[in-house]
């Protein structure tokens, strides 16, 4: 039950700040964030089962991340949702043009967050594309704006962190919040047990938070990225840090 928290144009000199948890079965093979040899300039983790990624950046400044809708009764469509991220990062289209060209029926339910260096958009095969205004947001396994308690709580904590001048370490720490959100009006509006009882950070035996990723974009084109991996029950694994200068390619 992934969570992407992001602050868009709230801090002078930092147009985009992202803090994201990837929740997945530990048995699903994946690689930590790295420069892809078969996709120059692409920095991301990799799903070794389907070949795509859940979140990544391009050295030229692009960013994309995906969250899934749970469709247990639907047969798998032909394409992996992780390809939506890699295709955008490897291209040159604007957010709106790329979103308009997606054939949504080829994928299971998804939300896709896109940044082309100028505008930020969220698109989905469950709703319309939204070009986002400056603000603080949370994207879960439901439509953007759905008031899951962990989303409401996460936005409040990210906004406070950004106002205090957070860094990568602060964002990674923020993502380790493993307490259930307090009962609130948001909880009363939550439609499913999943949305009501899922904390930001999940500790489990077979399924849980496998990686926390923090990304900070600078106005000069620099990108700072940190990824902290986790094992069963939230045991910390390796951490990988990257600093990308404007126009740098690998």
Domains of the chain: 3-244 (3.60.60.10)
Q: pLDDT-based confidence at 81, cuts 50/70/90?
A: very high
Q: pLDDT-based confidence at 70, cuts 50/70/90?
A: confident
Question: Model's pTM, two decimal places?
Answer: 0.91
* 82 contacts: CB under 8 Å, gap ≥ 6: 47, 50, 51, 52, 53, 54, 66
Lowest mean pLDDT among 44-53, 135-144, 165-174, 238-247: 238-247
Residues 135 and 8: beta-carbon distance below 8 Å = yes
Mean pLDDT to the nearest integer, 162-170: 96
Check residue 184 and give its pLDDT.
Answer: 47
Check residue 76 and give its pLDDT.
Answer: 72
- Tell me the two tokens of residue 221: 């084109």
């Amino acid at each position: 039950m992934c969570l992407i928290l992001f602050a868009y144009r709230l801090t002078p000199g930092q147009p985009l700040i992202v803090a994201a948890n990837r929740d997945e079965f530990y048995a699903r093979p994946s690689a930590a964030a790295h420069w892809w040899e078969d996709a120059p300039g692409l920095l991301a983790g990799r799903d070794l089962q389907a070949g795509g990624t859940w979140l990544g950046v391009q050295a030229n400044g692009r960013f994309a991340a995906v969250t899934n809708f749970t469709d247990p009764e639907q047969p798998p469509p032909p394409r992996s949702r992780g390809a939506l991220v890699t295709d955008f990062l490897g291209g040159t289209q604007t957010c709106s043009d790329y979103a308009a060209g997606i054939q949504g029926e080829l994928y299971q339910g998804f939300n896709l967050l896109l940044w082309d260096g100028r505008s930020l958009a969220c698109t989905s095969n469950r709703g319309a594309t939204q070009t986002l205004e400056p603000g603080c947001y949370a994207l879960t396994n439901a439509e953007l704006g759905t008031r899951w308690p962990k989303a409401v709580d996460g936005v409040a904590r990210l906004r406070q962190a950004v106002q205090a001048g957070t860094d990568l370490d602060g964002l990674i720490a923020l993502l380790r919040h493993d307490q259930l959100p307090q009962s609130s009006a948001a909880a009363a509006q939550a439609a499913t047990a999943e949305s009501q009882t899922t904390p930001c950070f999940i500790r489990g035996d077979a399924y849980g938070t496998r990686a926390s990723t923090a990304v900070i974009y600078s106005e000069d084109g620099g990108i700072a990225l940190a990824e902290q991996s986790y094992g069963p029950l939230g045991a910390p694994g390796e951490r990988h840090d990257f600093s990308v200068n404007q126009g740098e390619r690998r």
